Amino acid sequence: MESLQTQYLSQVGDEHRKQYAQFFTPRPIADFMRNWVLAGNARQELFDPAFGLGAFFEKAQDDLLVQGMEIDSQALDFYLSHTKKTRTALVHANYLLNYGLRHSNIICNPPYLKFQKFDQKEAVLDGFQKHFGISLSGYTNIASAFLVKSIFELADGGRLAYIMPPEFLNAGYGRQVKELLIQRRHLSHILQLSCEQEAFPDATTSLCILLYDSAKLFSRVRFHSVSALSQLAEIIDAEPVAEIPYERLQAGDKWGNYFKAEIHGQQFQSKYLVPLSTYGHFSRGIATGANEFFVLRKSDIARLSLQSSDYSGCITKSAQIQQPVFTQKNFEALAGDDAPVFLLNAVKTISPAAWEYIRFGEREGYNQRYITRNRTPWYKMEKRASAPIMLNVFSRNGYKAVRNYSTVQSLTPFHCFYPNLFGAGIIDLLFLYLHSHTGHSILASSVRKYGNELEKFEPNDLNHSLVPSDEFFAQIPENKAGSLMRRLTNGERVDSEIDELFASLLYNA
């Protein structure tokens, strides 16, 4: 017999599901969360502000009142037409725009949607300011807004369990959420689901579960990592990865690090570390808006009869750079292999051949893409200098730092570092640090975790990450960096020597 979710999806289709950002809760997670919430007090009541198909109530006792709110009328109608439960109090409404209710217990798997894509964003922001005195960041995701609202609406002595994308633990907008959690001291556990592919195979982000009990004030928060759904039944009594006293929790810290035993047990010599922004800044690479039009091969240039003023060299894929040092010779080798490493960049003097290609692009509608239609002229590229250091945006086995000695630019697969006056003289030293084991260990505290072990850096994550101070760099002999860079460029294995330079920045607690 088909599950309720399968029947529903066959009726509404994937586009409808994507519109409402619906990821249905697997039964082991639903049962765990429901049982934990209801074990907390005598009030056997449960409210779900993103009800969906009622997964949290599916195996609940029959006398439990089914309470919830759901914005999607099709999901709600489908549930009501298929449920056998008779005690229901369900409302078709937008939870983020409804106020005035308090709930004994709350359980939720909220929509996974960016706030910027929410149609009634301004009304939600106004409501939070009016009712709670909170000015939500415009970068807050919908799930975090759900959580904050539920915390304010949870009755005294009640419990709350939430499934969340853990980005808020590390992202800037999450500071408001963490400040609220620290202030109230009712959060007891955060469980990271490292088995997200087992639990939510269609989700593109990793997930965590927050357990919150307003009947108690806790002295610390326990951070657990769940590698299999079968572990949930015993996870509360299991040894946590980390147990952090509230006095040590800071809203500005990246709480995601507490799930990493190797980082949690490791401390940094912070007196020798400063923000990377001391020396310059990382910016994203060039966003063309239509790579299939703007990115060219050497054979394309010949076929189109473009002039040298019509294009420039550009790294377009992370895989094009395999070595830690990238030179002009390396670029010429890629170009000779007819790799897509050129960018249409016709602005000052546009040849007749380039004009003809631009007109072709307009006939094909490339000028109407989201980025290109908001750019004047639509074919104009961002002005970017060649960056001396590049770092890949996405990774699964640790980031890749590249010392760029070539004159080429980069598209968005790499973030590009541009030094200021203080950083211009230490480029090689800064690169060696980023390339080192120590650099990887310290920058791991700034990375964002997604599903299937995917990691991502945003430019500001990097700009706020920690790097050695001037005083520390000054201790390294002047000729040492140059010697290591020459040997690294020649393909020698010098990683151990590089690590020795920065190892003293770490010590084990």
3-state secondary structure 97-122: HCCCCCECCEEECCCCCEHHHCCCHH
- Cα separation, 205 vs 451, whole angstroms: 4
- Alpha-helical runs (H) found in 282-406: 291-294, 298-304, 328-336, 352-363
Most confident range, picked from 131-145, 240-254, 330-344: 330-344
Residue 127 has pLDDT above 80, yes or no: yes
Structure tokens at 253: 């810290």
Name, in order, each residue with C-beta under 8 angstroms of 486's C-beta and a sequence gap of 6 or more.
none
Give me the torsion for CA of 336, 339, 341, 345, rounded to 10°. Answer: 90
Cis preceding linkage at 201, omega within 30:
no
Residue 76 has pLDDT above 80, yes or no: yes
Name, in order, each residue with C-beta under 8 angstroms of 263's C-beta and a sequence gap of 6 or more.
257, 441, 444, 445
Is there a contact between 262 and 442 (Cβ–Cβ < 8 Å)? no
Domain residue limits, the chain: 4-264, 280-287+384-508
The pLDDT confidence band at residue 509, using thresholds 50, 70 and 90, is very low
Q: Which CATH superfamily is domain 4-264 in?
A: Vaccinia Virus protein VP39 (3.40.50.150)
Question: What is residue 212's predicted lDDT score, i.e. its pLDDT?
Answer: 98
Of residues 17 and 57, the one with the higher pLDDT is 57
Name, in order, each residue with C-beta under 8 angstroms of 271's C-beta and a sequence gap of 6 or more.
none
Distance between the two ends of the chain, CA-based, in angstroms?
Answer: 54
Token pair 């005035």 in the structure block, residue: 100
Coil, strand or helix at 425: coil
Task: Supply the DSSP symbol for 466.
Answer: E
Average pLDDT over residues 251-259: 83
- Cα separation, 199 vs 149, whole angstroms: 26
The pLDDT confidence band at residue 64, using thresholds 50, 70 and 90, is confident
Average pLDDT over residues 287-303: 97
Ordered strands of the 280-284 beta sheet: 280-284, 414-419, 389-392, 401-404, 325-326
Residue 485 has pLDDT above 50, yes or no: yes
Residue 201 has pLDDT above 70, yes or no: no
pLDDT in tens, 91-105: 999 999 999 999 999
Query: Exposed, middle or buried, 81 (CB in 10 Å: 0-12/13-18/19+)?
Result: exposed
Average pLDDT over residues 118-124: 82
Residue 66 has pLDDT above 60, yes or no: yes
Of the listed ranges 45-49, 437-441, 503-507, the one predicted with least confidence: 503-507
- Cα separation, 378 vs 384, whole angstroms: 17
pLDDT in tens, 370-405: 999 999 999 999 888 999 999 999 988 789 999 999
Of the listed ranges 253-257, 280-284, 446-450, 477-481, the one predicted with least confidence: 446-450
- Cα separation, 105 vs 103, whole angstroms: 6
Q: Which residues are registered as beta bridge partners of 226?
A: 193
Question: What is residue 204's predicted lDDT score, i.e. its pLDDT?
Answer: 47
pTM, two decimals, is 0.60
Residue 328 has pLDDT above 60, yes or no: yes
Supply the mean pLDDT for the chain. Answer: 88
The pLDDT confidence band at residue 7, using thresholds 50, 70 and 90, is confident
- Cα separation, 371 vs 350, whole angstroms: 21
Average pLDDT over residues 198-221: 79
- Cα separation, 356 vs 307, whole angstroms: 12
Most confident range, picked from 33-42, 85-94, 399-408: 399-408
Question: What is residue 266's predicted lDDT score, i.e. its pLDDT?
Answer: 53
Question: What is residue 2's predicted lDDT score, i.e. its pLDDT?
Answer: 52
Instruction: Report residue 414: phi and psi, to 5°.
Output: -120, 145
Coil, strand or helix at 478: helix
Is there a contact between 213 and 224 (Cβ–Cβ < 8 Å)? no
Which is it for strands 394-395 and 187-193: parallel, antiparallel or unpaired?
Answer: unpaired
Question: What is residue 264's predicted lDDT score, i.e. its pLDDT?
Answer: 47
Give me the torsion for CA of 134, 136, 140, 145, rounded to 10°. Answer: 40
Chain length of the chain: 509
Is there a contact between 276 and 464 (Cβ–Cβ < 8 Å)? yes
- Cα separation, 436 vs 502, whole angstroms: 7
Hey, CA dihedral for 160, 164, 169, 173, is it positive or negative?
negative
Residue 196 has pLDDT above 60, yes or no: no
Residue 474 has pLDDT above 50, yes or no: yes
Question: Which helix (H) or strand (E) is 312 found in, with range?
Answer: strand 311-315
Is there a contact between 391 and 415 (Cβ–Cβ < 8 Å)? yes
Is there a contact between 27 and 58 (Cβ–Cβ < 8 Å)? yes
